[in-house]
Structure formats: C-alpha cells, structure tokens
Amino acid sequence: MTQPTSRTRVAIVGGGPAGLMLSHLLHVAGIESVVLDTRTAEEIEATHRAGILERDSVRLLAESGVSGRVLAEGHEHQGIELRFAGTSHRIDFQRLVGASCWLYPQTEVFLDLHRARVRDGGDLRYGVASTEVIEVLDRARVRYTDLDGLRHEVVADLVVGADGSRSATRALVDPRRQYTREYPFAWFGVLVEAPPSAPELIYTRAPSGFALISRRTDTVQRMYFQCAPDEDADAWSDDRIWSELQTRLAGDDGFRLQEGPVLERTVLPFRSFVQTPMRHGRLMLAGDAAHTVPPTGAKGLNLALADVRVLAECVERALLRGDDAALDTYTDRAVARVWRAQHFSYWMTTMLHRLPGATDFDEQRQLGELTSLVSSEAGSTYLAEGYTGWPQ
Ligand code: PHB
C-alpha cells in the first residue's frame, strides 16, 4: 500500500552531478524539485570519476552561484601534451582558441552542488530504495521506499531520469532507439602517491597502447593505461604498474614518471552509447542515462551539464510560461551536442589506442594521423575546440 504522497513540480531520479545541477538551476528559476537517489551522498562522494571541466562547465558552476571553489582551487590547464613516437607535442588551447579547461575532479563538483542545494533548502532524499517511475503520460508519479521502510509517492508535473549509465528510467522511453559501440579494451586507472610528473595532462600513444597522465594534488596523481576489458586489477603489483606506465611514456627525451605507492587501482569500462529520444511524455532523460562516452577526452560530466542547462531552460518555459512546446525541442537541442561529443571521444580513443590485431599499416596510419594533427594549425585547433568545449 502506498503511504504518504508529496507533490512537487519536478521529480528528479538521480542525485549525482546532473540531477543536482538541474535541481539547482530550477531553484534559481523559482521551480521546486525533489531529488531521489538510492545511493547515499557519502557513496556518491567516494566514487572517483574524470577530472576535466570544459570552459562552459566552469562558468555554469561559478555563474549560477554553486561555488567559486572551482576557480580558487581548480587548476587551469591551457593545453595538453600529445605524446607519440617518443616525443611530446603541446596543443596550446589558449593560443589556438583562447580557452582553457580546468582540472577539478567530479567528486568536488558533486560536493559543491550538494552543499549549494543543502544551503538553499533543497529537498534531497538520498539512500532511498526501490525507486520506480510509475506514470509519465498525463502526469508524473514516482514511488520509493524511505529509510524506515515506508513506501512514498511523489506526484510531479515532470520527471527527470538522471540515474546514470545503468539507468532504469530510460527503459520507459517508448519507442526508443539505442546506438552502441563496444571497444576491445578498457582503462586501468590508478591513484598514486607521488609528486606531479608534468604540469599538464599527457595523452600518449605507445606501441604497447595508450596511457594518460593526469593530476589531482601536489602529492596524489591520477594515471591510466589501456588494458584488456577483463583485466584483473588486483593481479598487478605496484612494480608491474610502474614498469608498464614507464614503458608507455618512454622516449628519446628521457622522460620519466615520478613514482610512489599505488593507493587505488580499478578497471574502467569503455563504451559509447546513445538513446533517443531523450523525452517521452512527462519524462526527460539527462546525462549518462541517455548517453555514455569513453573517458578519452573527459566529455561525460561536461555533456551531462550541457544537457541539464538546456533542460532547465525548456522546463522553465514549460512550467513558468505554459509553453509546453519547449519540451519538444529538448531532444534535438541536446542530441546535437551529444553526437559531437560522441564523435570527439571516439576520435580521440581510436587515434590513441592500440586495437588488438592492429597491422603495421594500422600503426603507421595512426602515427600519420597524429603527425598531421600536431603539425597542422587547423588540426590542432580542431582538437583544442573540442577539448575545451564547443560554445552552447
Ligand atoms: C582524469 O583526470 O581523471 C581524466 C582526465 C582526462 C581524461 C580522463 C580522465 O580524458
């Protein structure tokens, strides 16, 4: 039996960065929402994800009043290094497109958004169970079980599925079309206790595969290397991890990574996925619930924030100005960016990773592509534009 019923304007399923940012933007517009998540806020906080924010993601956080911490504590990166055939080539974002990106881990984005919603009295219901969207056509109804085991119902004008890559809400979109690409590799991600090895991120293509050197703090660094999808992270000793990373970064310039204890090791799944449309009746999807990108290029969180910015505008027009047609424009507006980001992530991935069974021709062609890119102003600009984020 269903017990208490509450009423709100927008029920948001998923309290990660996408759901919280939407709730925040709606609050700024004077629209109330309820955020539901089966995880606790502490569980979400403990999840390590990518760390790069595009220029407009930083603006959104700072200008919508979430927090200025990204500007004070995030690290501005004015370029990246592309490394192949043992040599590094800098892509200078500022010179090429007058933009930067910021190294500011997703955990910090979540913390900032969570604090902002708590500060503004947001209705956040974390740690609930059995969340179920039961109606999306005439009105939106969501049920869940609270921490005391009591079943609740939330009735809303709209429901948003921001429930991540294992979304349950996306199955309610009918008819739907799904586009998927699997890759025959994954990333081995490590968090290490060591000083930074380089001031900027290094994306490397080596004969044995891809590696990425990223940063976290002055004493903790984030690094990744291409591995098999079924790699057992626990089978790797610290020595074996360092030897693999050093081999992939080695070059004529004698570059060496600064080593230290490995604090954490995980194998990250790798997939491209899009589901359309992103709206069905009173249900709208946002972020990973509607699309997943491989982590090369760090587009996942940025794309989720871009969805939510468009969605907030459509919801505002529908709920405050009675312009229901605004909801019809959401899919087309969001999906245009989704496919640009899908292409960018796929392109960065295939340009830098070793495909199992690659022939000598494939390898030389890949080196040819990288050489063209770094020696062409147009090619480098194309990468810089995509990496720092296309204007909205
Ligand atoms: C990270 O720092 O975790 C990171 C950075 C860039 C990427 C992916 C992950 O492309």
Among candidate residues 104, 183, 203, 224, the one labeled active-site is 203
Instruction: Give the Å distance between the CA of 316 and the centre of ligand 1.
Output: 33
What confidence score (pLDDT) does residue 1 get?
A: 54
Using a 6 Å cutoff on CB, does residue 196 contact ligand 1?
Answer: no
pLDDT at residue 279 greater than cutoff 80: yes
Among candidate residues 27, 299, 330, 353, the one labeled active-site is 299
At 76-118, the pLDDT tens digits run 999 999 999 999 999 999 999 999 999 999 999 999 999 999 9
End-to-end CA, the chain: 46
The encoded tokens of residue 7 equal: 């009423």
Mean pLDDT confidence for 334-351 = 97
At 12-70, the pLDDT tens digits run 999 999 999 999 999 999 999 999 999 999 999 988 788 899 999 999 999 999 988 99
> Does residue 346 have an active-site annotation?
no
Instruction: Give the Å distance between the CA of 191 and the centre of ligand 1.
Output: 12
Query: Can 5-75+102-179+272-347 and 181-270+355-388 be said to share one CATH topology?
Result: no
pLDDT at residue 4 greater than cutoff 90: no
The encoded tokens of residue 125 equal: 């219901």
Instruction: Give the Å distance between the CA of 296 and the centre of ligand 1.
Output: 7
**Distance between CA 11 and CA 161 in Å, rounded?**
9
**Distance between CA 197 and CA 257 in Å, rounded?**
5
At 124-166, the pLDDT tens digits run 999 999 999 999 999 999 999 999 999 999 999 999 999 999 9
> Does residue 387 have an active-site annotation?
yes
The encoded tokens of residue 382 equal: 């194309």
Mean pLDDT confidence for 311-325 = 97
Kindly report the pTM of this predicted structure. 0.96
Task: Give domain limits for the chain.
Answer: 5-75+102-179+272-347, 181-270+355-388
Using a 6 Å cutoff on CB, does residue 49 contact ligand 1?
Answer: no
pLDDT at residue 2 greater than cutoff 70: no
Nearest alpha carbon, ligand 1 atom 3: 50
Mean pLDDT confidence for 287-311 = 97
181-270+355-388 carries CATH number 3.30.9.10? yes
Atom of ligand 1 nearest to the CA of 49: 3
Helix (H) or strand (E) holding 132: strand 129-135
Mean pLDDT confidence for 369-375 = 98
Q: Supply the DSSP string of 52-67, one letter for each residue.
A: EE-HHHHHHHHHTTS-
5-75+102-179+272-347 carries CATH number 3.50.50.60? yes
Q: Which amino acid would we find at residue 288?
A: D
> Does residue 295 have an active-site annotation?
yes
Dihedrals φ, ψ of 71, to 5°?
A: -75, -35
Share of the chain above pLDDT 90, in %: 96
